[in-house]
Amino acid sequence: MTFCLVRAARLGDCCALRAIHANSANGVSVPADNDPDLCGLMATTRGRYPFLVAECNDQVVGFAYARAHKAPLALRWSVDITVYMNVEGRRAGMLRSLYRSLLEHLQEQGYLAVYAAIAVTDSATIATHEALGFAHIGMGQALDLRQDAEYWCLTLGGNANLMTAPALRNQYL
């Protein structure tokens, strides 16, 4: 029997994260940084953005994290996400669970827009993003000279979301 869950990443997960990241076939969304220091990234983002792992039978099978979308203050409620899932995690059906948990965390934190870059050849991942409500927003030709990534966006909520997010409510009242 397979027991799977999504939980917050711990520093002890670093070796497993590196192993999953090392196999490019595990990439679901294209990271903004091709070779991130995952442990450093986890340490610096955990307080502000979710960094989650999918685990099956005590083995880390995937991870997802969010980070700032763009530097301008106007985009502070937008994030870029990156997701990796190995074959075992996909077979166990953890990809959508990991995505849903990440999106729930982001919505609870008051973020309004989520951006992902997806390989144009990955029809299964494109279908997953469509099923989750992401909309295709184009190909970043100026940014992606090889034109091998498509860009997708999911809007999490409107201004009402800002007023109800506990961490943000006092900032606007």
Task: Note the pLDDT of residue 131.
Answer: 92
Closest listed residue to residue 103, CA positions, set 172, 10, 19, 29: 29
The whole-angstrom separation of Cα 104 and Cα 111 is 10
List Cβ neighbours of 21 (8 Å cut-off, separation of 6 or more): 27, 36, 38, 84
SS3 20: helix
What is the token pair recorded at 165? 């997010």
The model's pLDDT over 17-31, given as tens digits with 9 standing for 90+, comes to 988 888 777 777 766
Tens of pLDDT along 135-150?
999 865 545 445 577 8
E-strand ranges in 29-167 read 51-56, 59-68, 78-85, 113-119, 135-138, 149-155
The domain limits of the chain are: 4-172
How confident is the model over 54-97, as pLDDT tens digits? 999 999 999 999 887 766 666 778 899 989 899 899 888 898 89
Gyration radius (Cα) of the chain, Å: 16
Dihedral class, residue 93 (left if φ above 0, else alpha if ψ from -120 to 50, else beta):
left
Alpha-carbon span 6 to 104, nearest angstrom: 12
Percent of the chain residues topping a pLDDT of 90: 35
Q: How many CB atoms lie within 10 A of CB 97?
A: 17
Which CATH superfamily hosts domain 4-172?
Answer: Gcn5-related N-acetyltransferase (GNAT) (3.40.630.30)
Q: Residues 105-131: pLDDT tens digits? A: 999 999 999 999 887 777 888 888 999
**Phi/psi at 156 (5° precision):** -85, -30
Count of CA atoms in the C-beta half-sphere (13 A) of 72? 2
List all residues 6 or more positions away from 24 whose beta carbon is below 8 Å from its beta carbon: none
The reported pTM is: 0.72
In the predicted structure, residue 8 carries a pLDDT above the cut 80: yes
CA atoms within 13 A on the CB side of 152: 24
